[in-house]
Structure 1
Amino acid sequence: VDGQQLNFASNVVADTDGTIYFSESSRRYPLDDYMGDILEHSGTGRLYRISPGEHPEILVDGLEFANGIVLAPDRSHILIAETAAYRIARHHLTGPRAGITDHLVQNLPGCPDNMGLGSDGRIWVALVSPRNRLLDMLLPLPGVLRRIVRAVPPALQPKPARTTWAQAYDFDGSLVHDLQRPSDEYAMVTGAAEMDGRLYLGSLSESAIAVVELPR
């Protein structure tokens, strides 16, 4: 993009006209060092668009670890999970606010990862971990001080808590479902996909798919 190789492409969604939207989590760190970006809070995530026959264009820059994306059914806006900022950004594609980026949800209780549009019309969000108190204390510090934490032995660095967690929101930003439980059997949920009353969960660390019957 603009002569630069993508470093950490993350999520993608396609529109019916062939337009593709995708996120890049970090321009400083690769996938196998994702915690480096989380700790540094680099703010180098981006949202891109590729229209049929066109070159990629940057729609949003400066995102805090851009991750899962959802295109609104009416194509009026697109949502992007900002994992390192505990929020879901909203970029307006049409209407009087076209080109403006604001937020659908802020101050989430955990780190949002992948997102998906369910058959129920809800935005399903995988929360990979609850917020970490030590990490929250580090985030306001200058980047150079946060980078020093990378030199600390891994055993002393912030770690994701083991939990199974997914939430669902409507397009007004209201919480509809909040499904969480501590779990020794399944943790680090990074993907949530709903279909016909069932929620399918994927994980960064587990070797299986978890299936949840949703409350009626």
Structure 2
Amino acid sequence: MSSSESTNARTRTASWFSTPFFVIVLPVAVAALLYRLEPFKPVLLPVQLGRSTVAVPARNGHMQDGSERVGEGHLEGPEDLAYDAAARVVYTGCEDGWIKRVTVNDSVVDSAVEDWVNTGGRPLGLVLKPNGELIVADAEKGLLRVSSEKEIELLVDEFEGLKFKLTDGVDIADDGTIYFTDASHKYPVKDAVFDVLEGKPNGRFFSYNPATKKTTLLAQDLYFANGVAVSADQQFVVFCESVLMRCNKYFVLGPKTGTIEKFCDLPGMPDNIHYDGQGHYLIAMFTALSPELELAYRYPFIRKAFAMFTKYVGSLSISKNGGVLVVDLEGKPTAHYYDPKLALTSAIKIGNHIYAGSIFYPFVTRFDVEKYPALPTV
């Protein structure tokens, strides 16, 4: 090779590392290779989710305006809430394993936070029994019973040899039967986002009979089974599927016993659902179907890219317009409270206030629905 040819070769090589080829093409090529090697394989969803067509007669799209922060700095990701009206305290499960009690006062400044009991896992769904016992869906430990003396008892953590990976929502019927969900038998709570992005039905819905200690599988192949609420008339149990943005009802009494029907469609991804004792259910949603999510739901390869980013770079912030949908006993929406930057995982009604938990915040949100009502949409 002549001196001039050698110089030209070096120039061409150098240009690769100082032009868009190296700056753009090479990283894209590496990313494409990593994409092919990544074993995570999302699938098409069984239904095509589009922009919400849920008609709601009243809305408040600025729920954070006027909201208050309860227990700020003393709560780590308070996911679900259970209210003891006699003691005027709210129980909530936190990321550090503590179930804490928050006093309910007129002023949030006077709302003290007490470390009540630590499960050693990640308590999610909670329901309080009349005798003061707390039933806990602990994502890591399984279904637990905590006595009023703070004694923890494991009720069940597997079914037919398959361990629960993400025990999630829970409620109790008047006859003592406990209904609960295992959101995913594949992914633990720390990897819950991958279950959502994968698009496969890994969730299950169970009942547990405390008298016989028998666990019964009621429904399987669910798309991230989440919150649970026994109906006011005890005829059916509502359970939520986060990925499909809907709640279903499983009939436990009457001629339809053992069958499942749709309870309601939602404008977002639901978490916990609670009956308010006054003819309404409050369904917390951690996000609406944003344009980013809608695109990802349509194309599995985008969900794979999201998953890779989460796995190798960091979490994606795609929550938008989370809040609370209020529905009647038939599942028909009556009011929608939300905010562009809000993400909620539970909601209960205490007096004029909605108290809302969230795994994303270090506090419980309190919102006065009479002072800041949902306004008619027509």
Q: Which TM-score applies when normalising by structure 2? A: 0.52
Could you tell me whether the CA contact under 8 Å between 1:130 and 1:160 is conserved in 2?
Answer: no
- Whether 1:84 aligns to 2:243 is yes
- Whether 1:39 aligns to 2:197 is yes
Alignment of 1:101-140 (within 5 A): 101-106=260-265, 108-140=266-298
Q: Which of 348, 369, 372 is residue 193 of structure 1 equivalent to?
A: 348
Could you tell me whether the CA contact under 8 Å between 2:288 and 2:322 is conserved in 1?
Answer: no
Report which structure shows greater RCO (CA 8 Å, sep ≥6).
2
Q: Name the CA distance, whole Å, in 2 between partners of 1:159 and 1:93.
A: 39
**How many residues are treated as equivalent by the alignment?**
210
The alpha-carbon deviation at position 66 of structure 1 amounts to: 0.6
The SS at the match of 2:163 is coil
* Cα RMSD for the two superposed structures: 2.2
The SS at the match of 1:18 is coil
- Tell me the residue number matched to 1:152: 308
The alpha-carbon deviation at position 74 of structure 1 amounts to: 1.3
CA offsets 1:4-46 (integer angstroms, 9 cap, x no match): 1111100111123221110110111110111101101111111
Could you tell me whether the CA contact under 8 Å between 2:323 and 2:337 is conserved in 1?
Answer: yes
Q: Which of 335, 360, 363 is residue 205 of structure 1 equivalent to?
A: 360
Q: Which TM-score applies when normalising by structure 1? A: 0.88
Could you tell me whether the CA contact under 8 Å between 2:236 and 2:253 is conserved in 1?
Answer: yes
- Tell me the residue number matched to 1:21: 179
- Tell me the residue number matched to 2:226: 67
Q: Name the CA distance, whole Å, in 2 between partners of 1:42 and 1:166.
A: 26
Q: Name the CA distance, whole Å, in 2 between partners of 1:199 and 1:149.
A: 37
Q: Which of 257, 261, 270 is residue 98 of structure 1 equivalent to?
A: 257
Bigger radius of gyration: 2
- Tell me the residue number matched to 2:369: 214
- List alignment gaps of at least 5 residues for structure 2: 1-158, 374-378
- Rate the CA distance shift 1:164–1:43 in 2: closer, same or farther, 3 A: closer
- Rate the CA distance shift 1:163–1:146 in 2: closer, same or farther, 3 A: closer
- Tell me the residue number matched to 1:179: 337
The alpha-carbon deviation at position 141 of structure 1 amounts to: 5.1
Q: Name the CA distance, whole Å, in 2 between partners of 1:150 and 1:94.
A: 42
CA offsets 1:114-142 (integer angstroms, 9 cap, x no match): 11111322110111011133333343556
**Which amino acid is the alignment partner of residue 283 of structure 2?**
V
The SS at the match of 1:28 is coil
Q: Name the CA distance, whole Å, in 2 between partners of 1:6 and 1:162.
A: 30
Q: Tell me which protein shows more strand as a share of its residues.
A: 1
Could you tell me whether the CA contact under 8 Å between 1:200 and 1:209 is conserved in 2?
Answer: yes
The alpha-carbon deviation at position 50 of structure 1 amounts to: 0.8
- Tell me the residue number matched to 2:207: 49
Percent sequence identity over aligned pairs: 23
- List alignment gaps of at least 5 residues for structure 1: none
